[in-house]
Amino acid sequence: MRLRIDLSYDGGAFHGWARQPGLRTVQGTLEDTLAMILRLPQERAPRVTVAGRTDTGVHALGQVCHLDIAQEILDSCIGHMNVSGVEALHRRLMHVLPDDIAIRSVSVAPQGFDARFSALDRTYVYRISDAGRPIDPRMRGFVLAIPEQLDCELMNQAARMTIGLHDFGSFATPNPGGTTIREVKHAHWDRIGAAALLPLASHDAGWRVPSIESGLVCFEIVADAFAHNMVRSLVNACVQVGRGRKSLDWFRHKMDEPVREGSTGPIAACGLTLEHVEYPQDDRLAARAEAIRAKRTLD
């Protein structure tokens, strides 16, 4: 059967998602843990397919992956528990995995589900503390500090140029045999106001508990898929515009002429989080996976 796993992780101590010899990665840690729980040698352990490979230091709140496993192997992890094999695997993963990986759910995947190819879109958020403001210590691993005040209006003018089907060759590198053509559905910068978690009336002294993101500058981008380093490079280009170091004409030229060069490299990984992966209704999963495997063009 095919299982869907929804998980979150703090990417700060991982060398990205993909397994690499001798390095700590999310995929390697998850697959090694599965092998131990299922009492399988490494060569027989289930391999996981992920919705989006995150780079070194990038975090995930709503990552999704799938694995294929025989029913008898799955049931072998039940032990003394009076639960299904799926629930037993979920419980054992939560117990054994390190604290920087959290398993949100394990479920039997619908027919035709592919964590990577069935996805409709992915949502990333990049978080910045600008103007030299101190970062909340609880957020220090998830926010980038910038000394300058950022101009969100200018950055949004740049971000709007990315919406639609484009070749993002100025901001990304293709996989072998692939392209840097992607469709961005939404891209927007917001300065988060001082929002309260609890209403004023609930506190006799009038103190309001602030949202943890109050004061941050956040970039939200949604696309059908992302090429390698695409989000962080787009963020870096927008930030250079927001700092006044580059012009909107420069950004427009990079969109019109998809050629990679030094000034459009990726910004620091720490501020980036994969927030959500969206999938179609169950009866459209297989068709979506088949369609997305085709090589993209601008036509």
Whether 296 is covered by a domain: the verdict is no
Q: Give the pLDDT band of residue 204 (cuts 50, 70, 90).
A: low
| Bridge partners for 9 per DSSP | 60, 101
pLDDT for residue 177 is more than 80: no
For 81, other C-beta atoms within 10 Å of its C-beta total 12
- Of 108, 137, 158, the position where a domain reaches its end is 108
- Give me the helices (H) in 41-170, please: 71-75, 85-96, 152-160
77 and 196 part of one domain: no
In a domain, 186, yes or no: yes
**For residues 27 and 15, what is the distance between their CA atoms, to the nearest angstrom?**
10
Query: What pLDDT, in 10s, does the model give residues 116-142?
Result: 999 999 999 999 999 999 898 989 999
- For the chain, how many structural domains are there in total? 2
Q: Are residues 140 and 267 in the same domain?
A: yes
Q: Which domain holds residue 39?
A: 2-108
d(CA 41, CA 271): 37
Query: Of 6, 10, 32, 55, which is the active-site residue?
Result: 55
What is the structure's pLDDT at 298? 81
- Residues 77, 138, single domain; the answer is no
Q: Binning pLDDT at 50, 70 and 90, where does residue 212 land?
A: confident
Residue in the block written with tokens 């958020």: 125
CATH number assigned to the domain comprising residue 103:
3.30.70.580
Are residue 274 and residue 137 in the same domain, yes or no? yes
Q: Residue 213: is its pLDDT beyond 90?
A: no
Mean pLDDT, to the nearest integer, of 145-171? 97
> Which of these ranges, 20-24, 42-46, 150-154, 201-205, has the smallest mean pLDDT?
201-205
83 assigned to some structural domain: yes
Asked if residue 102 belongs to a domain, the reply is yes
| Residue of higher predicted confidence among 178 and 26 | 26
In a domain, residue 88? The reply is yes
- The model's confidence at residue 51, banded by pLDDT at 50, 70 and 90, is very high
Q: Could you tell me the two tokens for 299?
A: 């036509």
138 shares a domain with 98: no
Indicate if 243 and 197 belong to the same structural domain: yes
Q: Does residue 299 sit within a domain?
A: no
- The pLDDT value recorded for residue 197 is 65
Closest CA to 48 of 58, 61, 38: 38
End-to-end CA distance of the chain: 38
The answer to whether 55 is a known catalytic residue is: yes
pLDDT band at residue 194 using 50, 70 and 90 as cut-offs: confident
Ranking 88-102, 104-118, 197-211, 216-230 by mean pLDDT, the lowest is 197-211
Asked whether 219 and 192 are in contact (CB, 8 A), the reply is: no
Does any domain span residue 129?
Answer: yes
**pLDDT at residue 206 in the model:** 57
191 — pLDDT class (breaks 50, 70, 90) = very high
Confidence of residue 193 (pLDDT cuts 50, 70, 90): confident
Residue 195 pLDDT class (50, 70, 90 cuts): low
**Percent of the chain whose pLDDT exceeds 90:** 81
Of 112, 108, 164, 166, nearest to 280 by C-alpha is 112
Q: Rounded to an integer, what distance in angstroms lies between the CA atom of residue 42 and that of residue 144?
A: 38
Separation CA 278–CA 120 (nearest Å): 5
Q: Strand pairing partners for 274?
A: 60, 124
Same domain, 31 and 80: yes
Q: Which of 55, 83, 108 is the last residue of a domain?
A: 108
- Among residues 74, 108, 142, the one where a domain terminates is 108
Mean pLDDT (the chain) is 92
Is residue 239 located within the same domain as residue 101?
A: no
pLDDT recorded at residue 130 = 96
What pLDDT score was predicted for residue 203? 53
Which domain CATH number covers 256? 3.30.70.660
- Cα 296 to chain center, whole Å? 21
Distance CA 263, CA 33 (A): 40
In angstroms, rounded to a whole number, what is the distance separating the alpha carbons of residues 239 and 298?
A: 27
Which of 69-83, 90-104, 191-205, 243-257 is the least confident region? 191-205
Note whether residue 22 is domain-resident: yes
Shared domain for 262 and 133, answered yes or no, is yes
Q: Are residues 100 and 134 both part of a single domain?
A: no
Same domain flag for 272 and 125? yes
pTM here is 0.93
Are 102 and 130 contained in the same domain? no
